[in-house]
Amino acid sequence: MLAMNHYNLSGPPGALDPLSNLSQWDTEMVEMESLAHQGNLTSDRPMSGGPIAAALSMTLGVISNIVALFILANAYSHQRRRSKATFLLFASSLVLTDFFGHIIPGVLVLRLYLSGGVFPEAVAASSNGSTDPMCQFLGGSMVFFGLCPLFLGCAMAAERCLGVTQPLLHSSLVTTTRTKLSLSGIWLVALCVALLPCFQLGSYTYQHPNSWCFIKVLANDTQEADVAFVTLFSGLGLTSLGVALVCNTISGLTLVLARLRRRPSGYSSSHSHRSVAKSHDIEMVVQLVGIMVTSCICWSPLLIFGLMSVMRSYRGSIDKADMATYETLNLMGVRLASWNQILDPWVYILLRRAVLRKIYLITKCQADLNGSVLRRWEGNSFQSKSSENSPVNRI
């Protein structure tokens, strides 16, 4: 366009040599196409810091999950309370799932980073419905290891809600065998959802900047199956977060009310046993609240952005500017979701009863110190005022 305007304003057509004009036009067009091609390659290739950031993130996730697994295994071997053992079994499964969910997709993404991304032909073939085994495996892994932590957090919250509100029913229903069956069912449901594209119910494609694969949410040929698949994935994730929020709220309110209703009485063995049980319940609910908050922060953006993207893409109301915006939002969403597998272990590590007791003692000592200083200051002030008002001082 700029070249055309330049030549239109330069004078009449006969003022320039046609051959030289054509040669110059072709030269500039080749240069412009070369620059555009370079720009596309630069925008599609991952940033130079991508491999380093991916390697550091994967290393941090591996270390965090290994430390948490060691602590959980040690606590499970010394645990005698069945409700606490059930919670530790769920927590161990969550950390183990996060460990493999960080390793398997992380290695594939790191391989794509180091190889400079995928070729445009592979991206186009994947977008047109051709089967790319690596993309299918990476997309299925992200869906599977994305749903499992959300399902596990929901199941843990429901189990604790039943244990806090109905302890007798919990003791009769929740057993180790049933817990293991529930874990197997959770993994099976997540696997079935991840395998739906194998039955032509949805599809996985390369996502911007062609370094990862996920559900097709942005495309010109979005089908009803793609919309249904994204809706199923986002709906299951958001429903799990909502159920966990309700169950943890009920558990927390129940514990707070029980704490307020308790009256000071003489200490006995039964009273000590109930105090230990309540402290275990408080510890588990605090950890569940931490896991729920972490999951909401890390997963909600990707679940919501994916649903918004596929809806607008299916309606055909996304232009090029909106496409770039939604690509950036989805990329930020998946990066934030990957941090859930790093932060989940630290929620358990930092919110254990031993750590919480130390924090409580430090806070209490600080409060007692401030209170003693305040009482000393008030006493001195009272004494000075009384001495000033005494008859001796007035004389």
Q: Tell me: the pLDDT tens digits for 236-283?
A: 999 999 999 999 999 999 988 887 876 555 444 444 445 545 677 788
pLDDT at 352 over 50: yes
State the average pLDDT over residues 10-30: 40
| Region class of 118: left (phi > 0), else alpha (psi between -120 and 50), else beta | beta
pLDDT at 348 over 80: yes
Cis bond upstream, residue 209 (ω within 30): yes
State the average pLDDT over residues 292-309: 91
pLDDT at 45 over 50: no
- Indicate the pLDDT class of residue 7, thresholds 50, 70 and 90: very low
* CA distance linking residue 82 with residue 389, whole number of Å: 67
If one compares 317 and 52, the residue with the highest pLDDT of the two is 52
CB contact set of 75 (below 8 Å; sequence gap of 6+): 88
- Indicate the pLDDT class of residue 110, thresholds 50, 70 and 90: confident
The dihedral built from the CA positions of residue 273, 275, 276 and 278, taken in this order, carries a sign that is: positive
Q: What is the pLDDT of residue 391?
A: 46
